[in-house]
Structure 1
Amino acid sequence: MKIVVCVKQVPDANDVRLDPVTNTLAREGVESIMNPYDQYALEEAVRLKEKLGGEVTVITMGPPQAAEVLRLAISCGADNGVLVSDRAFAGSDTWATAYTLAKAIARLGTFDLFLCGKQAIDGDTAQVGPGLAVRMNIPYLTCVQKIRQADEKRLVAERMMDDGYDVVEIGLPALLTVVKDINEPRVPSLKGKMKAKKAVITTLSAADIEADSGSIGLPGSPTQVVRVFPPQPRGGRAVFTGSLDEQIDQLVEKLKPYL
């Protein structure tokens, strides 16, 4: 089975800053990590490879330093890393990102399964996975918490819902976005780290994937951030003390004028 895992390098959630000029996340001087949800997608891909055989290719779009997450993925069991990097991609929203990844994947060949994390912790849109599937004209499942069965032609998965889960059978090729319940990511082995250090990362530019200049970066992004600002503190909070019953009585009295 040939599997592609889409990963993203994101700022560490403990060190997030905003650029007041560009209204985007400031990445210079900020420690970057692999998007946590993508780690679960990577682990599931490696487990499927170990069970069914095949190859796992990890792809990311970003600046040159994003190659670090590809090497981390290789140290955890992936076979190949592909970096899609070009200044022309700067400012891409989810629409332009899905377009760019689809063009890059088409350049790489055909695959059976595509895995993505449910969402990225820096944007929290959960749009790139489904958008990529639509671009590639393949079916997709979101919020997958377990793959029950899989072979070269189809798989059966549990899709997390608000009131439980659905069991869905889907034909391949297909794309899945996964949640953290699906597995427990492994720690890179020493052998894996040595392999990752020697690995050759394939880099693709906008010209390499024959991307339309009007469909990438800011020109290809129908959504743009106009302004970013911290919420104003509301103040005027009330603190209730005493026993639970006393606090409930105080809360009721406080709410009476609004009823």
Structure 2
Amino acid sequence: MKIMVAVKRVVDYAVKIRVKPDKTGVETQNVKMSMNPFCEIALEEALRIRESGLASEVVAVSVGPAQCVDTLRTGLAMGADRGIHVEFKDGLNPLSVAKVLRALVEAEKPGLLILGKQAIDDDCNQTGQMLAGLLKWPQGTFASKVTLDKEKRVATVDREVDGGIETVLLDLPAVITTDLRLNQPRYATLPNIMKAKSKVIKKYTPEDLNVEIKSDLEVLQVTEPPKRKAGVVVSSVNELIDKLKNEARVI
């Protein structure tokens, strides 16, 4: 079985985000970029499934500008067998990415698709669900545990919901999106980083896949949240109650 994993290039989680002066977006020039943390978890899960003997190949896929190749090389250094890069400039939305991935599924015929539940740049949490809808495949979102039965061709997914853990049984092929507690991604070792340089990354454009990319959304303005006011020290419980009642009006 082949597993396809979508990985996204985002501003590193440790970087303090700065809004552009023209307020058209966030600053990405001369900013450290890395693989989306939820995508790392998705790739790690795919690698563990392959290492257990339940899959034969892991293919990492990224959609975006030329720099996405660096993100794919990171995935290859972690252990992915090969990469696919669909080159497109910034401005992709979840539906466009889902359409590109659907076209790749038709070409690659994977038995399982694993994605991070969301990206930390836009927090949309939509691509996996849209992709499952386009493919008409079953989906298990927010996965905290994944178990495969190769003979029965089913996947058991424990998914985190507001009320606790929900367990769903999915017929393969299926789409799974990963939550934070599914696993701990591995670090790429130096030998594997060197090996990754020789692994294949196949390039496509949306036109090659007969996918028309257009956005129904327009970003009008990006602004920073308002600055939080400094707190005050109160001298007594009575003063605290008075401020909560008359200033904050929460009691």
What is the one-letter code of the residue matched to 2:41?
Y
What is the one-letter code of the residue matched to 2:207?
A
Deviation of the 1:93 alpha carbon: 1.6
Name the residue aligned to 2:196.
196
Deviation of the 1:66 alpha carbon: 0.6
Query: Does residue 171 of structure 2 align to residue 171 of structure 1?
Result: yes
Deviation of the 1:20 alpha carbon: 4.1
Q: What's the C-alpha RMSD, in Å, of the aligned pairs?
A: 1.9
CA distance in 2, matches of 1:148, 1:101: 24
Contact map agreement 2:88 2:206 (CA 8 A) in 1: yes
What is the one-letter code of the residue matched to 2:225?
P
Query: Does residue 233 of structure 2 align to residue 240 of structure 1?
Result: yes
SS at match of 1:187: coil
What is the one-letter code of the residue matched to 1:146?
K
Name the residue aligned to 1:250.
239
Name the residue aligned to 2:41.
40
SS at match of 1:182: coil
What is the one-letter code of the residue matched to 2:219?
V
Q: In the TM superposition, what are the counterparts of 1:145-160 in structure 2 within 5 Å?
A: 145-151=144-150, 153-160=153-160
Name the residue aligned to 1:224.
218
CA distance in 2, matches of 1:22, 1:252: 40
Name the residue aligned to 1:70.
72
Deviation of the 1:252 alpha carbon: 1.6
Q: In structure 2, do the counterparts of structure 1 residues 166 and 205 end up closer, same or farther at CA, with 3 Å as the change threshold?
A: same
Any idea what the Cα deviations from partners look like across 1:21-64, whole Å, max 9, x if unmatched?
A: 47223322211100011111000000001111311001000111
How high is the TM-score relative to the length of structure 2? Answer: 0.90
Name the residue aligned to 2:139.
140
Name the residue aligned to 2:210.
210
SS at match of 2:181: helix
Aligned length: 245
Q: In structure 2, do the counterparts of structure 1 residues 112 and 62 end up closer, same or farther at CA, with 3 Å as the change threshold?
A: same
SS at match of 2:76: helix
How high is the TM-score relative to the length of structure 1? Answer: 0.87
Deviation of the 1:234 alpha carbon: 5.8
Name the residue aligned to 2:81.
79
Q: In structure 2, do the counterparts of structure 1 residues 238 and 69 end up closer, same or farther at CA, with 3 Å as the change threshold?
A: closer
CA distance in 2, matches of 1:104, 1:138: 15
Deviation of the 1:255 alpha carbon: 2.7
What is the one-letter code of the residue matched to 2:77?
S
Which protein is richer in helix relative to its size? Answer: 1
SS at match of 2:177: strand
| Structure 2 unaligned blocks of 5 or more | none
CA distance in 1, matches of 2:137, 2:19: 36
CA distance in 2, matches of 1:241, 1:98: 53
What is the one-letter code of the residue matched to 1:161?
V
SS at match of 1:104: helix
SS at match of 1:156: strand
Percent identical across equivalent pairs?
Answer: 34
Name the residue aligned to 2:128.
129
Any idea what the Cα deviations from partners look like across 1:203-236, whole Å, max 9, x if unmatched?
A: 1012211122xxx1xxx2112211111233364x
SS at match of 1:239: coil
Query: Does residue 106 of structure 2 align to residue 112 of structure 1?
Result: no
CA distance in 1, matches of 2:240, 2:124: 36
SS at match of 1:105: helix
SS at match of 1:167: strand
Q: In structure 2, do the counterparts of structure 1 residues 91 and 20 end up closer, same or farther at CA, with 3 Å as the change threshold?
A: farther
Contact map agreement 2:25 2:221 (CA 8 A) in 1: no
